[in-house]
Amino acid sequence: MDESTSKTAQAVSDSNGLTLTKQTPEQLVARAIAPVKGEFLRPPPVRASSATQNDDVSEQTDDKATVQSGGLVKEKKSKRQLKRERRQEQKSAKNLCPEVAKTGDISSCPYNDKCRFSHDFEAFKAQKPADLEGECPFFKGGGSCPYGLACRFSGTHTDDMPPSDLKGRRKSSEINGLSKDVQKLLWKNKMHFPKADAKLTALELWENKDKVTEKATGGLLFYRFDLLFFLLYYAIFLFSFNTRALSKSKFESSAEVTKDDGVCDTDQVVEKSCIQAEPEAGNEVIPPETDQSLKLHPREKMLIDFRDKLYLAPLTTVGNLPFRRVCKVLGADVTCGEMAMCTNLLQGQASEWALLRRHSSEDLFGVQICGAHPDTVARTVELIEQECTIDFIDINMGCPIDIVVNKGAGSALLTKPMRMQNIVEVASGTVDKPITVKVRTAYFEGKKRIHSIIADMGSWGASAVTIHGRSRQQRYSKLADWDYVYQCARKAPSTLQVAGNGDIFSFVDWNNHKAECSELATCMIARGALIKPWIFTEIKEQRHWDISSGERLNILKDFVHFGLEHWGSDTKGVETTRRFLLEWLSYTCRYIPVGLLEVIPQRLNWRPPSYYGRDDLETLMASDSAADWVRISEMLLGKVPDGFRFAPKHKSNAYDRAENG
């Protein structure tokens, strides 16, 4: 049904429960209010006061918190105190030793009394929550459960199952884990980055090296060149080779060169054959790191064709591995991991490296990194290429989050085009994997900049660039500027693929953008996939899917199953899965079923009024209350623990907040 089909007026209630003047669907659309059919509208639910409501959904605070200036402030604890509390928590009865849990035998632990976990099997059984309904996700997949008696589905375990093997299980489905050996090298500052250091030297990006490195890595100074490398590079820089002689003598002694007719010393000057003490006029010295005859040209490194592929954007928090698996099942072609900070990766933080994990179903996968300085980015891409199996590396230069921007990374780089160029050049020159870039239109509203540099980005070494049609200052307050995205795509060289991003919420939006600008390689889908991940199916099948509440619940069940495989089927894994499920539900509540709308398709900026669904489950899924999201999680993961509270990191109504523009 299009906008002209129905002229039926309807009543809409505002957030205070007052009925607004009856308006036509066209008038509602003009005000960015979703035109829900009149028979489904209802007054907003009566809620408790804001203070009580915030208490219901807020994160659980420390008992010793004190009230200052009308706000709740947590008591600050020292690192030693936090460490002691973690140790005590590990020793509690609810943290049973993994070896004891797998075998049921206390003597199976090789650490005995020195083990940091509890060996009190009876106390663990006494406090363990009841098993969940269903069967163990690991046994269901044909393997063995690595959590043994700690599994929340342990009642379904049978004696004839093969012995558990956690490492074998993980390797069969997920890759890109951080090995302990590499982590220890990163912790001790003993990891070497020869490719990155060579490229940084060739591009003369070592100025004020120690100060820049210390600032970028939080005080960790990286390693200097090996003395042998310095001598070799210095010798090569002093003397000129022809291309053939250089490729043959790169690893030979720089003291003498063998010729077809004998050996000549470096002191001799033989025309066009031997190393010369001084370079000839007009014969510029080309070090091996910049010799284009030895390095792949950026055009030769463009190994991925993004054209017309459905690209799931890297999404912070919600774009985790289980969510990406859901999107792959529903039709996504390209997936990308959550944004990881370069400094955290170089420090060996396990939580940051977890963002790089890849599932076997992700056949076209990239990772996204964010850094403020060329040296940290260069070392990070070299480390990732060495330790991970990926198809491309995306550099984020558009993140608007304050904590990222204040460090000079993300969208802060949009104010420093020379820094952008240095980062892309050094990253592209360090690794052979394709380097892609994600940017916004500008940092400040009204001061667009990408159109002036996009023609050069291909020569920097980028294989593709994604343009989000908003500035950093704008955030999500207005619709994306796709006309500007088209303008940039038309100015880009043919070797640089351009993807657009912003407000794609249906196959109609996808078709319109592709038709308006044939130069666009593809469109990246971000919030649209968070609210309705079946958008990939809609685009491929070219239809509006009036999905039922039961089908939506099945998608959530798939996410829970994937989450238990990824985070674990013990109590900790169940609660981690619940937390990420609730984060996702804070977005999915904004979806309005197709059958309830007067005008289709739904637009991403429409504010949904309060409405009834076609059944109780659909009504529950439409609620913007955290308490209702918790109820949905209990349908899939059992009762929440005592004292459980939840507040989403990403506010589902953030597009309506005054501070966002």
CA pair distance 530, 30, nearest whole angstrom: 24
Chain length of the chain: 661
Report yes or no: 566 and 146 within 8 Å, Cβ to Cβ: no
Task: Please tell me what DSSP assigns to residue 96.
Answer: B
68 Cβ contact list (under 8 Å, min separation 6): none
Between CA 29 and CA 49 the distance in angstroms is: 31
Q: 637, 563 in Cβ contact below 8 A?
A: no
- From residue 504, give the alpha-carbon distance in Å to each of 469, 523, 597: 11, 8, 18
∠ CA 87-89-91 to the nearest 5 degrees? 70
In the three-class reduction of DSSP (H, G, I as helix; E, B as strand; rest coil), residue 136 is classed as: coil
Q: Tell me the three state secondary structure of residue 530.
A: helix
Nearest Cα to Cα of residue 629 among 575, 569, 568, 584: 584
For residue 542, the one-letter residue type is Q
- How far apart CA 471 and CA 398 sit, in angstroms, is 9
Residue 197 CB-density burial (10 A; 0-12 exposed, 13-18 middle, 19+ buried): buried
Question: Residue 466 — φ and ψ, nearest 5°?
Answer: -105, 130
Could you give the residue ranges of the DSSP H alpha helices within 388-481? 402-405, 417-430, 450-460
The yes-or-no answer on residue 399 being catalytic is: yes
- CA 648 centroid distance within chain: 17
Residue type, 82: L
State the CB neighbour count (10 A cutoff) for residue 399.
23
Torsion over CA: 303, 307, 311, 313 (sign): positive
Helix extents (H) in 321-365: 321-329, 342-346, 350-353
555: its two tokens: 């998608």
- Which residues, other chains included, contact 301 with Cβ-Cβ below 8 Å and sequence gap of 6+? 428, 432, 433, 434, 435, 461, 463
- Report the SS3 class of residue 380: helix
Reported in sequence order, the residue ranges of 44-191 that DSSP labels E, i.e. its strands, are 66-68, 71-73, 174-175
Active-site residue, from 151, 399, 517, 523:
399
Which residues are registered as beta bridge partners of 468?
440, 501
Bridge-based pairing of strands 497-501 and 520-525 is: parallel
Q: Which residues are catalytic?
A: 399
